[in-house]
Amino acid sequence: MKETGSQAAPPSCFKQSSLPPTNEFKNGMKIEACDPRNLTSISIATVVGMQGPRLRLRLDGSDNKNDFWRLVDSSDLHPVGYCERIGELLHPPLGFRMNASSWPIFLQKTLNGAEIAPEKCFKMEPPSPHSNDFKVGMKLEAVDRKNPQLICPATVGAVSNDQIYITFDGWRGAFDYWCRFDSRDIFPVGWCAKSGHPLQPPGQKGTSQYKLNKVIKHRPMVLNLPAPGAPSSSQVTTHGQTSTTPATSPGGGGQ
Ligand code: MLZ
């Protein structure tokens, strides 16, 4: 950051608590979790790994190819018994390995004798910032959604309404993505160090200054941006320039 004279996005931009939550879970514990592939349904999940305050989760009855990561203060996580309390049913995960009719028995068996995560493990989700206060060029730490166990140094590449474009420092763009300003996948600079989560080193494909020179001076970055989730006819600001015609395709550039 010193070398490039860059600014960190202020912690108030993020939906993260100023003090990272403590992780009181243990591997093997059972919880209830929203199925990431079927957001309206809640299933039983097992903690199969952790890094700092992040849990690696596997839905019971699904395969080991669909693990996902959540913060211990995620609103997607609940103690066993939550569904019953709110008058909902626990659902088999999308891609349940068995016949749907065997779900009630499977559920009973998977919870029998299992270690149930106690209530105190679940932390309150922090409040959302009221507005998108990110500016192009600000530094942050962000989950690499293609390798979701990783948190990497990143820069805000563009801002569009409620969305920001995450670009990974030292990588050519294959990992970049749009997200909402209140995403739980983005963190202020220093969050990993504070929370005990490993932070990946930046890539080797040139610094962001290199990127700035190459991409912005010679080829306006706006041409390389995929549109954010719901693009509408919104304005996209990239590195100080404003355009009303966001491009729709990242266009090649694998690494
Ligand atoms: N195995 C991958 C990891 C890349 C991580 C990039 N994060 C922004 C590779 O080396 O290509």
Q: What's the CA-to-centroid distance between 111 and ligand 1, angstroms?
A: 36
- Alpha-carbon span 135 to 156, nearest angstrom: 7
Q: Which residue, by CA, sits nearest to atom 7 of ligand 1?
A: 144
Q: What's the CA-to-centroid distance between 20 and ligand 1, angstroms?
A: 25
Residue 200 Cα: closest atom of ligand 1: 7
Pocket of ligand 1 (CB under 6 A): 144, 147, 150, 152, 168, 171, 175
Residue 150 Cα: closest atom of ligand 1: 7
User: In 59-89, which positions are buried (b, 16+ CB within 10 angstroms) versus exposed (e)?
Assistant: bbbbeeeebbbbbbbbebbbbbebbeeeeee
Q: Which residue, by CA, sits nearest to atom 9 of ligand 1?
A: 255
The SS3 call for residue 235 is coil
Q: What's the CA-to-centroid distance between 206 and ligand 1, angstroms?
A: 14
Q: Which residues of the chain have pLDDT under 50?
A: 208, 211, 215-223, 230-235, 239-255
Q: What's the CA-to-centroid distance between 235 and ligand 1, angstroms?
A: 31
| Model pLDDT, residue 207 | 52
Task: Please choose from 141, 147, 169 the residue to mutate so as to test ligand 1's pocket, defined by most ligand atoms within 8 A of CB.
Answer: 147
- Alpha-carbon span 244 to 247, nearest angstrom: 10
Q: What's the CA-to-centroid distance between 80 and ligand 1, angstroms?
A: 35
Task: Please choose from 140, 143, 144 the residue to mutate so as to test ligand 1's pocket, defined by most ligand atoms within 8 A of CB.
Answer: 144
Q: What's the CA-to-centroid distance between 5 and ligand 1, angstroms?
A: 25
| Model pLDDT, residue 227 | 73
Q: What's the CA-to-centroid distance between 175 and ligand 1, angstroms?
A: 8
CB neighbour list of residue 114: distance below 8 Å, 6 or more residues apart? 28, 30
| Model pLDDT, residue 210 | 52
Edge-first strand order for the sheet with 68-71 is 68-71, 54-59, 38-51, 30-35, 77-78
| Model pLDDT, residue 228 | 77
What is the per-residue pLDDT across 17-54, written as a single tens digit (0 to 9) for each?
Answer: 999 999 999 999 999 999 999 999 999 999 999 999 99
DSSP secondary structure string for all residues of 161-186: TTEEEEEETTS-STT-EEEETT-TTE
| Model pLDDT, residue 2 | 85
| Model pLDDT, residue 240 | 37
Put simply, whether the predicted model's pTM sits higher than 0.90 gets the answer no
| Model pLDDT, residue 222 | 46
- Mean pLDDT, the chain, integer: 87
